[in-house]
Structure 1
Amino acid sequence: MNDNRNAPDIDEAALDRKIWWRIIPFVVLMYFICILDRVNIGYAALTMNPDLGIDPAVFGFISGIFFVSYVLLEVPSNQLLVRAGPRKWLFRIMVSWGILTILIAFARSPLELGILRFLLGAAEAGFTPGIMLYLTFWFRKNRISQALAVFFVAIPLAMVVASPVSTWILSSATWAGLASWRWLFILEGIPAVIVGCLTLACLSDAPRTASWLAPAERAWLASRLDEARVRSETPRAIPLGQLASTRNLALFCTCGFLVGLFLTSLLFWIPQIVSTSGLSRSITGTGLLVMIPYALSAAVMYLWSRHADRAGERRWHVAVPFFVAALCLILLSVASAPLVAFVFLTLAIAACYAAYAPFFTLTLDALPPGLRASGVALVNAIASAGSFAGPVLLGLAGGTLESPGVLLLFAVLGIALTVCGILLVRARLPQETGGDLPGSPG
């Protein structure tokens, strides 16, 4: 509700822009580094797997084991973020995962690599839902989907940048007698430590502690956001009973699981899928092709979420991308050529990313303030369980688009996404609000 009678001097458009440019670029940078460090193993695999004797099934397990510890610690981590404050907790997360990424460079066996990946998941647990919750402390309901969209754009953007950078490191870095895949982890782990330390200086916990806002602006925001209620109403223990009885949370968890299974399996496997498809004959060529679906995803993701905010509608903005992705995944099974299959795969990836921000906005809207920390963490944890299952299943199925098992897996996933889209459209969900975005950045 935009009632300015008690705050006549507040320029909403200027305040929105101030918050946007202070918060969004930095959290996008944080998430960009997060995704880069999470998926660089997919590029390292091009030379690491032969060095360490890792076959497709073992690689799928090592890729996915990250999410075992991640899932186990996701909800308690987000509960701790509320109590410790976002700045300190995000600092802890980033620095610890940066150090572990660097340590992966010195793994000497698949067992050591798997242990370090497990610890990396434990270090990073709570980061994504923590940022999602943090953004609700700053952005009102008719702006949050766009803010989340730009934050999530870091995923495909990281893949666009990771492709040429990681393949260049693999092709060029042979310094000090270390294999190039080892340098990949060292060079991509250092930024997490640096940016993690900058978190303490660059972020404020909430508007009430932001010295860069005027007192009137802090008071105006506090009256329109739920940050104080989240802090006061979030229980110290994990509210399992309340979560279990929350309407539609099981449906949100199922949707998150399916999207996590598909998108994360591709984050790890797409370099090898492209490399074995015959579309590329070099590491550099593979990197350039991998950029295509993620560059498209970044653009579609932002534009679709912006449209969702302007329309004030979420469920169809989730369901329609689900239907498009489902159709493309089913058509993959009848694709007659590698190029056609790659086009269908690209469209399916872009469609799933388009649903990302509206989906999590819908999830946050469905949760009362006291359950937002644990609820969004639970949905993200279940999505992360899918992120564990995806790379493992894709590896067991063969890891290429020529494998019948992979095509069957994608077809089943397409049917499941269709069912979820239908259930979302029919579900009883909170009243959606929105409207025009005067002064919204971008």
Structure 2
Amino acid sequence: MPAISDDRYKGTNPDGDIDEIALDRKVWWHIIPFVVILLVICILDRVNIGYAALTMNADLGIDPAFFGFLSGIFFISYVIFEVPSNQFLVRTGARIWLFRIMVSWGIITILIAFVQTPAELAILRFLLGAAEAGFTPGILLYLTFWFRKNRISQALSVFFVAIPLAMVIASPVSTFILSHAAWSGLAAWRWLFVLEGVPAIIFGALILVYLQDSPKDAAWLRGPERAWLASRLDEARVQDETPRAIPLRQIITTPGILLLCTTSFLVGLFLTSLLFWIPQIANSSGLSGSLMETGILVMLPYAFSVVVMYLWARHSDRISERRWHVAVPLAVAAIFLVLLSVPHTVVTGFILLSGAIAASYAAYAPFFVLVMETLSPGLRASGVALVNAIASIGSFAGPVLIGLAGGNISSPGTVVLFLFLGIAIISCAVLLVRKELAARVSGG
């Protein structure tokens, strides 16, 4: 990933003791590549069931409707434990809690390889959601302990690039395992869970060695650097002002937070359902003739998303603007979804779907920066987790709805779902910038 850059200032601080650019670069290269790897592993273990389904469903007798339920049940426990998990992270420190999260979900992923019935799979998927709850919002909060306001958007943009990047990696790797791994009498889809669960345990253990809770604990920074950076971050305020009880009333009465929650629900419903269903959608479309070709086809929209997502977030940070950088790509994604309801060829449908995916991901980093800017430091741990939990409710509903519609983007149920989803998303996009729109219309 490219190093952090900013042309708005150069040189040292007025005292001449701290080279801000060198310090930012040092923090960037120590923290960001590692947490990107962690999120890639997280997404791999969350969505590998979508690839396993290409052969697993026939082995276990799973139909499309039940597969949608299996994909979504992960998010039921995820939502239940999301906010409490972030509260614990603040109390225990990020290292200990992130270690617990990763090792526990790695163990559960490996156990999935040995299920014999759909019911056993459903139970482990539920436990996987409980184990992983709090990981993404926990990392988001953790990054605010290291990056100042004029740096956090770039940090988040590269961190969130890991989501489509994980799909770029998952597509060829998972389909390769499915095509070649059938050792010791275990089906290839079972080896998929084993081989993709082990990295979570390894990197979970590395968290204890490599990461520190905050700059004041970082031996790889000089003493003056630790003090200077700590004095310019909100980490101490978050630690001191985060209440032990979950402040739901304060969060939901924060101006603008309900609209942000609604937006996160809709985007979560669309993007996460595709994470699970797109391998089967591509495989059944007629555009691919083998598992490896399916992997390559699925990889394309996510590879494009990586580029669009990073460039758009950098532009947002360069001009210090969030709302339009959320609203514009969401409106574009909504238009693509609405166009899917118009008669089209298979190729056109896949292009429209790919455009909607890339546009939605472009809004990711500016959206979460906007969430954190909307919340006070004392509400961030619970507030970011709540917004992510609401997105997870959508993430539960999406796979289930597509499963009930037959798991095909051309089925009438899916077409209607995407049509209404597009209308709802564009409504949220307009509401996010309604004041600016009103001012432009009135000439103010």
Answer whether TM exceeds 0.5 for this pair.
yes
Counterpart of 1:319 in structure 2 is 327
**Contact map agreement 1:7 1:220 (CA 8 A) in 2:** no
Q: Are residues 318 and 336 of structure 1, via their aligned partners in 2, closer, same or farther at CA, if it must alter by over 3 Å?
A: same
Q: Which amino acid aligns with 1:101?
A: T
Deviation per residue, 1:256-275 (Å, 9 max, x gap)? 10110000000000001011
Q: Which amino acid aligns with 1:92?
A: R
Matched, 1:58 2:66: yes
Counterpart of 2:114 in structure 1 is 106
Counterpart of 2:233 in structure 1 is 225
Alignment of 1:372-411 (within 5 A): 372-411=380-419
Identity value in percent: 71
What is the CA distance between 1:348 and its match in structure 2? 0.3
Counterpart of 2:183 in structure 1 is 175
How many positions carry a matched residue from both structures?
428
Q: Give the CA RMSD over aligned residues.
A: 1.3
**Contact map agreement 1:7 1:216 (CA 8 A) in 2:** no
| Local SS of the residue matching 2:288 | coil
| Local SS of the residue matching 2:348 | helix
Q: Which amino acid aligns with 1:98?
A: G
Counterpart of 2:45 in structure 1 is 37
Q: State which of 125, 134, 139 in structure 2 corresponds to 1:126.
A: 134
Matched, 1:261 2:279: no
What is the CA distance between 1:165 and its match in structure 2? 0.6
Counterparts of 1:426 and 1:141 in 2: how far apart (Å)? Answer: 25
Alignment of 1:114-263 (within 5 A): 114-263=122-271
Matched, 1:361 2:369: yes
Q: State which of 276, 281, 284 in structure 1 corresponds to 2:289.
A: 281
Deviation per residue, 1:175-221 (Å, 9 max, x gap)? 00000000000000000000000000110100111111111111111
Deviation per residue, 1:248-294 (Å, 9 max, x gap)? 11111101101100000000000010111111121111110000000
| Local SS of the residue matching 1:235 | coil
Deviation per residue, 1:281-323 (Å, 9 max, x gap)? 2111111000000000001000000000001000000000011
What is the CA distance between 1:335 and its match in structure 2? 4.1
What is the CA distance between 1:85 and its match in structure 2? 0.1
Counterparts of 1:426 and 1:7 in 2: how far apart (Å)? Answer: 44
Counterparts of 1:154 and 1:329 in 2: how far apart (Å)? Answer: 24
Q: Which amino acid aligns with 1:166?
A: S
Deviation per residue, 1:314-344 (Å, 9 max, x gap)? 0000000011001100111114200000000
Unaligned stretches of 5+ residues in structure 1: 429-442
Deviation per residue, 1:333-369 (Å, 9 max, x gap)? 1142000000000000000000000000000001000
Counterpart of 2:303 in structure 1 is 295
What is the CA distance between 1:5 and its match in structure 2? 6.1
| Local SS of the residue matching 2:184 | helix
Counterparts of 1:10 and 1:325 in 2: how far apart (Å)? Answer: 43
**Contact map agreement 2:13 2:19 (CA 8 A) in 1:** no
| Local SS of the residue matching 1:177 | coil
What is the CA distance between 1:107 and its match in structure 2? 0.7
Q: Which amino acid aligns with 1:415?
A: I
Question: After the TM superposition, which of the residue ranges 3-12 and 179-188 deviates more from structure 2?
Answer: 3-12
Counterpart of 1:435 in structure 2 is none
Q: Which amino acid aligns with 1:241?
A: R
What is the CA distance between 1:244 and its match in structure 2? 2.2
Counterpart of 2:441 in structure 1 is none
Counterparts of 2:171 and 2:216 in 1: how far apart (Å)? Answer: 40
Matched, 1:11 2:11: no
Counterparts of 2:264 and 2:21 in 1: how far apart (Å)? Answer: 33
What is the CA distance between 1:7 and its match in structure 2? 3.9
Unaligned stretches of 5+ residues in structure 2: 1-7, 437-444
Q: Which amino acid aligns with 2:92?
A: A
Q: Which amino acid aligns with 1:317?
A: H
**Contact map agreement 2:89 2:97 (CA 8 A) in 1:** yes
Counterparts of 1:405 and 1:127 in 2: how far apart (Å)? Answer: 33
Matched, 1:339 2:353: no
Counterparts of 2:98 and 2:307 in 1: how far apart (Å)? Answer: 27
Deviation per residue, 1:20-68 (Å, 9 max, x gap)? 0000000000000000000000000000000000000000001100000
Counterparts of 1:6 and 1:375 in 2: how far apart (Å)? Answer: 36
Counterparts of 1:206 and 1:427 in 2: how far apart (Å)? Answer: 38
